[in-house]
Chains A and B, each alone.
Chain A
Amino acid sequence: MIRFDNVSKRYPGGQEALSSVSFHLTPGSMSFLTGHSGAGKSTLLKLIAAIERSSRGQVIVDGRNLGKLPKRQIPWLRRRMGIVFQDHHLLYDRSVFDNVSLPLIIAGYKPRDIGRRVRASLDKVGLLHKEKAMPVTLSGGEQQRVGIARAVVHRPAMLLADEPTGNLDPQLSHEIMQLFVQFNQVGVTVLIATHDIVLVKALRCPVLTLEQGRIAHSADNGR
């Protein structure tokens, strides 16, 4: 589903953020990406989402070589994935419902289907009763769950998460991880970038560890 072949990424004028990274995530797998901040986790996720392009090597997502993907094809690639951000990236001038419905509106779903799917997605993260609320009135954990609901509402094949539990207490972090596990169980390929080692160890998933832009260690973590 996601394959990196000797991928390097050098920012203009800066040092290499990623050096010769290779790995392969099979469809339906769930993996962690760990490493200290600055190790290249965010860069790696950005390459998958075509926010950045690799300087060298091939990034193949869903059978497409992103290096050769025309710019106007990028929206369709991104519709195949759901992205969860550390700082939620919610739109604060509209309700929870409108935030979660955005991917469906973009993809041109019918209004009736939108209502049904948004509520199913909010129900999944336990926020059905908050659909009319504005995001600012929610706690950090609730906002993160809205972000997750938005990332999965269009039933993507891949789910990418960048520090999804970054600002949350252990109890909430655990609940959110359980959500990711549930999505994985219905066949979604999940990749979670986190520096929370405790959380990683609690789940028996493959782990990619980045150190100064290189894969330092690739463990199966017992599965």
Chain B
Amino acid sequence: MLYFSLAKLLASPLASLMTVAVIGISIALPTASYVLLANAQTASSDWDANARISLYLNDLSSADADALLGQVQAQSGIAGVAYLSPDKALEEFREISGFGDALDALDNNPLPGVIVVEPQAGLSAERLQALADSLNRLDGVDLAQLDVEWVKRLHAILRIIRRSVTALAALLSLAVLLVVGNTIRLDILNRRAEIEVTKLIGATDGFIRRPFLYGGIWYGLLGGALALVLSGTTLLLLREPVAQLASLYGSAFRLRMFDWQLAVLVLGGGATLGWLGSWLAVGRHLKRIEPR
């Protein structure tokens, strides 16, 4: 019977395809948004975990800088340190910024040396701030900058986006429900004669309802599959530019695709919505058809 209802769907391929396409697009939109959001959260929690403290140094000789490096390393709560000399900083800036010619025009190197401190993972915001303060008091350190403010802001923004994606998903689920319901309604009206005849030869309401419910499940399932294809394609297209953006920030971050749990959820959710939509339509319209 499940197979038979699929065959029914394929009997009018164009109309079925349109319904499936609308469902697919409706589900693909929140799916892709969700995956992007999940990626953004992973990326931001990466930054969170390695909150860095940048120590901008006074004009020090390289021997003094080495000594300071040792002092910093001696502090507790530090996972690693890296020294970026003014010359190297200039070189990096020249490479990335494209202001090479302008830099050549300068007499001396305007950039300070920097010690990048990587605190131990899992330190609280207060501990990080305390660490930054104590580093700031070291001789030779001009400024110790702890970048957490923007991480907080990013989290606030991500929360707004997450809410929006949830609302979008809810609205589009409703749209799927209506689309399936309307398709099944038309299907019921088209098959009015058939329903009357089967009722006349002793079909129960359950028997008549079943192919329509299965039809709804198929619409939802195929729509979900199409949504996976569409959102997968979109994410693949975004992969390369995201990798480029990440490398500009010196990160090895790569866009992650949806995992199989999400794929199962999309297919299952689609099927459930399809079933529910057809169930609502069948309940409303089948009762009105009685043999005369």
Contacts and interface: CB of A to CB of B under 8 A. Distances in A.
A76 B202 contact: yes
A79 B202 CA distance: 5
Nearest to B201: A103
A94 B168 CA distance: 43
A14 to B, nearest CB: 14
Interface stretch (B17-25, B169-177, B192-200): B192-200
B82 interface: no
Interface string A171-197: 000000000000000000000000000
Majority secondary structure of chain B interface residues (helix, strand, loop or mixed): helix
A106 B291 contact: no
A78 B200 contact: yes
A214 interface: no
B204 A78 contact: no
Interface string B254-292: 000000000000000000000000000000000000111
Given A51-B291, A51-B292, A106-B207, A78 B202 contact: yes
Contacts of A90: 197
Interface string B178-204: 000000000000000110111111111
Contact of A51 (B11, B198, B200, B205): B200
A150 B194 contact: no
A106 B200 contact: no
Contacts of B201: 78-79, 83, 102-103, 106, 150
Given A72-B204, A75-B203, A75-B204, A102 B292 contact: no
Given A51-B291, A51-B292, A106 B203 contact: yes
B197 A75 contact: no
Contact of B197 (A51, A79, A89, A107): A89
A49 interface: yes
Contacts of B193: 89, 91
A110 to B, nearest CB: 14
**Interface band, chain A:** 10 to 19
A76 B202 CA distance: 6
A130 to B, nearest CB: 19
Majority secondary structure of chain A interface residues (helix, strand, loop or mixed): helix
B93 to A, nearest CB: 74
Interface in A29-82: 49, 51, 72, 75-79
B202 A107 contact: yes
B200 A89 contact: yes
Interface in A117-175: 150
Given A51-B291, A106-B207, A91 B197 contact: yes
A186 B203 CA distance: 26
A106 B202 contact: yes
Contact of B202 (A51, A89, A91, A103): A103
Contacts of A107: 202
A83 B291 CA distance: 13
Contacts of A75: 199, 202-204, 207
A77 B199 CA distance: 11
Interface in B223-272: none
B200 A83 contact: yes
B15 to A, nearest CB: 15
A49 B198 contact: no
Contacts of A78: 199-202
A49 B205 CA distance: 17
Contacts of A150: 201
Contacts of A91: 193-194, 197
Contacts of A77: 202
A49 B202 CA distance: 10
Nearest to A77: B202
Interface string A79-105: 100010000011101000000001100
Interface of B: 11, 193-194, 196-205, 207, 290-292
Given A78-B202, A102-B197, 14 more contacts: A51-B291, A51-B292, A75-B199, A75-B203, A78-B199, A78-B201, A79-B202, A83-B200, A89-B193, A89-B197, A91-B194, A103-B201, A106-B198, A106-B201
Interface of A: 49, 51, 72, 75-79, 83, 89-91, 93, 102-103, 106-107, 150
21 contacts: A51-B291, A72-B204, A75-B202, A75-B204, A76-B202, A77-B202, A78-B199, A78-B200, A79-B201, A89-B193, A89-B197, A91-B193, A91-B194, A91-B197, A93-B11, A102-B197, A103-B201, A103-B202, A106-B201, A106-B202, A106-B207
> Which 7 pairs, one residue from A and one from B, show the smallest C-beta to C-beta distance?
A79-B202, A78-B202, A75-B204, A106-B203, A75-B202, A89-B197, A103-B201
